[in-house]
Amino acid sequence: MKKILILTTSTGQGHNQAANSISQSFEDAGYETIKHDFLFKSSKLLNDLIVVGYEILASKFPKFYGWFYNLTDSKITNKILKLIFFFPKRKLLKLIKNIEPDLIIATHALSINIVTPLKKQGLNIPYIIIVTDFKAHYTYIDSDVDAYITGSSYTKQSLINKGIQTDKIYPIGIPIKKIFYKSDYSLKDLKNDGYFNLLLMSGSLGLNTISFVLKELLKSPHKLRITVVCGNNNKLEKYLTNYCNTNKYNNKKLHILGFTKDIPELMDYCDVIISKPGGLTVTESIVKNIPLIIPFAIPGQEMENIDFLVNGGYSILVNNLDEINPVIDDLICDKNKLSIIKDKLKELSSTYSVDEIVTIGENLIKNN
């Protein structure tokens, strides 16, 4: 049985979710997969600096995070990072020698600074990297990557602009769970009660900005069913639950949830998703053909995602929270606008394949 080593790390849960999706696809095809957190398993110091640092900056100091993201979007970044990752590189090489994988797939750009130096030193294993957002940061760029998986042709072009060969890039969609490619149409039959259904999500960090969005939505005169997913932010879940229990609103049905595995079903039930534009959340909305309204974003990669989504007509950006109800009003009153966005999402999602990565991987193994 051939083995696939999948490298991930926990700067947000999207990278781990992509790793799980890839693992499922390869295991369904008869491969053995080994998932490995290349930071947590290699260096507590680097893991704390990068993973914990990301969580703190993204949630508490987003403007500084955005500045740092843009600052590091240059060719010199990977040269510096390769020095920093010297010891994790040695530990990963030991793991590779132990398990002898036929293919390495990574869901995080920082893996480049570990794997490509090993390839330059003679490691003869194909290496695929997943670009988990819609524009490639310079940390993704290295000629020793054998294949790139991207979420769109727009992402592909951003890689080409930075020197990557076009035949190495496959715009087949960011890997997500297969269940998102299936729809529960019976849920749509339950919605015929005059309510417009909103799914409000904040990502795995459960950003507190979501509370301001909800309070603004509660001012709407329309009949709204609002489901709020707070992620791992237990304080936010308790606060919103208490807030909604102590305040009564006409024409509103509210459901406050913490972390849940029922996102596919919740998406099938909703008319519109309101969320920050993380790469995997965006991909899930694309596959489900559910329009995304963006009222907030983490500066950096998510702002670049917005450029792709809004310019392509796949999403609606709300620059100020007091604009969100007019946007909702417009979609409720003009069903054609909702249909136009859905049609564009359907066209984009038709280029996606959850299992094509297996074929790409098999070809790399055969030709190695």
pLDDT in tens, 155-187: 999 999 999 999 999 999 999 999 999 887 666
pLDDT at 20: 96
> Is 200 found in the same domain as 118?
no
Q: What is the CATH number of the domain that holds 305?
A: 3.40.50.2000
Task: Assess whether 360 and 340 both reside in one domain.
Answer: no
Residue range of the domain that includes 251: 179-349
Question: Looking at residues 337-365, what average pLDDT do you find?
Answer: 96
Domain count, the chain: 2
pTM for this one? 0.92
Separation CA 78–CA 82 (nearest Å): 6
Tokens representing 196 are 């417009």
Whether residues 183 and 50 share a domain: the answer is no
Check whether residue 279 and residue 329 sit in a common domain.
yes
Looking at every residue in the chain, the average pLDDT score rounds to: 91
Are 236 and 309 in contact by the 8 Å Cβ rule? The answer is no
pLDDT band, very low/low/confident/very high, at 306 (cuts 50, 70, 90) = very high
Whole-number Å distance between alpha carbons of 61 and 39:
23
Q: Name the nearest CA neighbour of 176 among 5, 20, 364.
A: 20
Nearest to 183 by CA among 291, 338, 287, 28: 287
Same domain, 195 and 287: yes
The mean pLDDT value for 299-305 works out to 92
Average pLDDT, stretch 275-289? Answer: 94
Confidence of residue 344 (pLDDT cuts 50, 70, 90): very high
Condensed to tens digits (0 to 9), the pLDDT of residues 184-236 reads: 766 666 666 789 999 999 765 556 788 899 999 999 999 999 999 988 888 88
- From the list 249, 284, 251, 280, the residue with the least C-alpha distance to 270 is 284
Bigger pLDDT: 299 vs 129: 129
75, burial (CB in 10 Å: exposed 0-12, middle 13-18, buried 19+): exposed
240 lies in the same domain as 136: no
pLDDT band for position 48 (cuts 50, 70, 90): confident
Q: Name the DSSP letter for residue 295.
A: S
Give the residue, 58 or 176, on which the prediction is more confident: 176
Count helices and strands in the chain by DSSP H and E runs? 17, 12
Higher pLDDT, 206 or 246: 246
Mean pLDDT value of segment 321-338: 93
pLDDT > 70? residue 298: yes
Q: What is the pLDDT of residue 360?
A: 98
Q: Within 10 A of 59 (CB to CB), how many other CB atoms are there? A: 17
How far is residue 296's CA from residue 321's CA, in Å, rounded to a whole number? Answer: 9
Q: Is the dihedral of CA 172, 158, 147, 21 positive or negative?
A: negative
Q: Identify the residue with better confidence: 292 or 44.
A: 292
**Shared-domain flag, residues 73 and 26:** yes
Residue 156 shares a structural domain with residue 220: no
Residues 38 and 8: beta-carbon distance below 8 Å: yes
Cβ within 8 Å of residue 329, ≥6 positions away: 220, 222
Pull the structure tokens for residue 260: 């849940």
Rounded Cα gap, residues 38 and 89, in angstroms: 9
331 and 188, same domain (yes or no): yes
CA 4, chain centre distance (Å)? 22
pLDDT score at 229: 93
